[in-house]
Amino acid sequence: MPKSAEKCKEIRDDMRNRILHESMLYFARNGFAGTKISDLARHIGIGQGTIYVYFDSKEDLFKEIHRMINGEKDIARVKVLAKLPINAKQKIHMMSKEIMRQLEENESFAGIIALNTQMVLEEAAGNTADTAYQLELYRYTAEIIEQGQREGSVVEGTPMKLADYYWGVVYLYSLKKLFTTRYEMISAEDLERTVLK
């Protein structure tokens, strides 16, 4: 019965993605050690056992979340941006606008950023494969910054340091979004000021 098999696969994928998605925010908020499977399951609204139908272990789930995050193509945008034949200031404008929009509209964005940055911070021994993505993102940003420095629109300093600073602030407001309800979001201009003169 190919039809039902397909349907089945679809249902499975739906559940898997639901767990993956809901878990991401939960882990981002509570950290790995601070997340209990029982709490997570209740939060998702499924039985504890169900998680183990789709993932081998808590750690496996966590890794899969990271794999999913890294699969996201928001990197592509920055990559494209870096290659465009416009000046750095404009690139930074566009990038900052886009980031603030995502942070506002896309519920998952904050989680993705938070988990990603936490991973980089922790430098979990040898997780080079995962952090590679982050570095790539930073590298493209640094390229833009370097261009800006040549053009005189960006402040002096190691480009990588400045890229790191820029994304650090994005991380900061991802945390705020994840944890608090009452806060005033900074503007794209505030964000840009990390690097622009």
Partner DNA sequence: CATGAATGAGTATTCATTCAT
Partner DNA sequence: TATGAATGAATACTCATTCAT
Q: Which of 33, 45, 73, 125 binds a copy of itself (CB under 8 A)?
A: 33
Q: Which of residues 2-21 bind DNA (CB under 7 A)?
A: 2-3, 7-8, 11-12, 15
Q: Which of residues 99-158 bind a copy of itself (CB under 8 A)?
A: 121-123, 155, 157-158
- Closest to DNA by CB, 45 or 85: 45
- Closest to DNA by CB, 36 or 97: 36
Q: Which of 17, 48, 128, 158 binds DNA (CB under 7 A)?
A: 48
The 10 Å Cβ neighbour count of residue 26 is 19
Q: Are 167 and 194 in contact (CB under 8 A)?
A: no
Q: 15: which residues sit within 8 A by CB, 6+ positions away?
A: 46, 50, 54
Which among 105, 77, 103 has a CA at the least distance from the CA of 191?
103
The 10 Å Cβ neighbour count of residue 157 is 12
For 21-69, give the DSSP string. HHHHHHHHHHTTTT--HHHHHHHHTS-HHHHHHH-SSHHHHHHHHHHHH
Binding partner selected for residue 50 from a copy of itself, DNA, none, CB under the kind-specific 5 to 8 Å limit: DNA
Q: What is the DSSP letter of 196?
A: B
Tell me the window of 40-48, 120-128, 149-157, 177-185 that interacts with DNA (CB under 7 A): 40-48
Q: Rule CB under 8 A: which residues touch a copy of itself? A: 2, 30-34, 47, 121-123, 155, 157-158, 160-162, 164-165, 168-169, 171-173, 175-176, 179-180, 183-184, 186-187, 189-190, 193-194
